[in-house]
Amino acid sequence: MPLSAQEDDITLGDHRFGRVNRRMPIGPVRWPFYDLFWLHEGTARIYFPEQNATLDLVAPAGVLILPGTLFRGATVGAFATASICHFELASDDERPGWLLPRGGEALHLQNMIKLAMELARRDRPDEVARRKRLLLTLLDGFAPAAPAASTTLDGRLATAWRQAAQNLHRMRTLADVAALLGISESALRALHRDAWHMSAGEHLRELRLTRAEELIVSTDKTLAEIAEAVGYRHAATLSAAFRARRGKTPGEYRRWSNPFA
């Protein structure tokens, strides 16, 4: 993404919001412009056939697909809600590919995307410049996708954890994470401690709680629904872990994060 892009370099296109489901696949398509696909609710899997790559997106999450990139996708569950933002950049020389949100910034990007959708809905001529400035700020929140997974065991470990973070509802135990690597749970524990000098169990717990924080703050899901989404079998288990690690119950955290509620 050109860091020197200015408002005049942008040509705004469609910005739409809606529901997709298993009967409404995403693509296959190859756009001649940029496509910012953002998942607001649900889970989707995006395929890039020419790069032999797959992205599993769990809301809030998204991908900035560069011009000329062939892709297709589908929801993983029954449905998902998503938005698309199409635009062009003058004099861009991007190769086919995609960019992903910078680490830990997805929730903030989603808030900006919601504002961008509201401005697009109003479609006021006097707000075009503002929409372009907001889009430039959004683009700064994306970075090149991680390089192909390393063939070293340490590289495979990092890749497995990224996959686990995107599919926490399926990661019931460390054995599920280990299965992504094709090794035993005991081997995962040893490898993780040697490579990252911390407990694999603690790392998985932190992934769950961080995702739970995002869902508590950004959705009105019940504690049971959030527990299921992050891989806990029972709401009480999540509540106990959350209070022990965050110093507040999930309910207290929700009220604390929204003092005007």
Q: pLDDT band at 92, cuts 50/70/90?
A: low
Tell me the CB-side half-sphere exposure of residue 150, using CA atoms within 13 A. 7
- Predicted pLDDT at 150: 45
d(C-alpha 45, C-alpha 76), whole Å: 6
d(C-alpha 219, C-alpha 110), whole Å: 12
Reported in sequence order, the residue ranges of the chain that DSSP labels E, i.e. its strands, are 10-21, 26-30, 34-41, 43-48, 53-58, 61-65, 70-75, 79-89, 98-101, 142-144
User: Where do the domains of the chain lie, and which CATH numbers do they carry?
Assistant: 7-144 (2.60.120.10), 153-257 (1.10.10.60)
pLDDT of 3 higher than 60: no
Residues 207-254 pLDDT 10s: 999 899 888 887 889 999 999 999 999 999 999 999 998 899 999 988
Sheet holding 79-89, edge to edge: 10-21, 79-89, 34-41, 61-65, 98-101, 142-144
Mean pLDDT of 99-120: 90
- Predicted pLDDT at 151: 46
pLDDT of 119 higher than 70: yes
- Predicted pLDDT at 249: 93
Residues 39-76 pLDDT 10s: 988 888 898 988 878 888 878 889 999 999 999 988 87
Residues 138-194 pLDDT 10s: 999 998 865 544 445 566 788 788 888 888 999 999 999 988 887 889 988 998 888
Query: Tokens standing for 179?
Result: 């299965």
The answer to whether the CB of 131 falls within 8 A of the CB of 15 is no
